[in-house]
């Protein structure tokens, strides 16, 4: 039981990390666009 729960937690953690990195990249791109347009 604990093994399956940890596996689910690991997949959730990796998915959250990918989502977090994508959000940072999107924010960085928006800042670059705003700076380039000025």
Q: What confidence tens digit (pLDDT) does each residue in 1-38 have?
A: 556 677 877 888 899 999 999 999 999 999 999 999 87
Query: Nearest Cα to 16, choosing from 8, 5, 27, 26?
Result: 8
CA-CA distances (angstroms) from residue 9 to 4, 16, 22? 9, 10, 20
Per-residue pLDDT, 3? 66
Q: Domains in the chain: how many in total?
A: 1
Q: 């997949």: which residue's tokens?
A: 11
Per the structure, the complete domain to which residue 13 belongs is given by 1-38
pTM over 0.75: no
Q: 């928006």: which residue's tokens?
A: 30
Q: What confidence tens digit (pLDDT) does each residue in 24-34 have?
A: 999 999 999 99
Query: What is the greatest pairwise CA distance in the chain?
Result: 56
């Amino acid at each position: 039981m604990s093994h399956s729960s940890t596996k689910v937690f690991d997949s959730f953690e990796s998915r959250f990390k990918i989502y977090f990195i994508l959000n940072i990249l999107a924010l960085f791109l928006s800042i670059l666009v705003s700076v380039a347009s000025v």
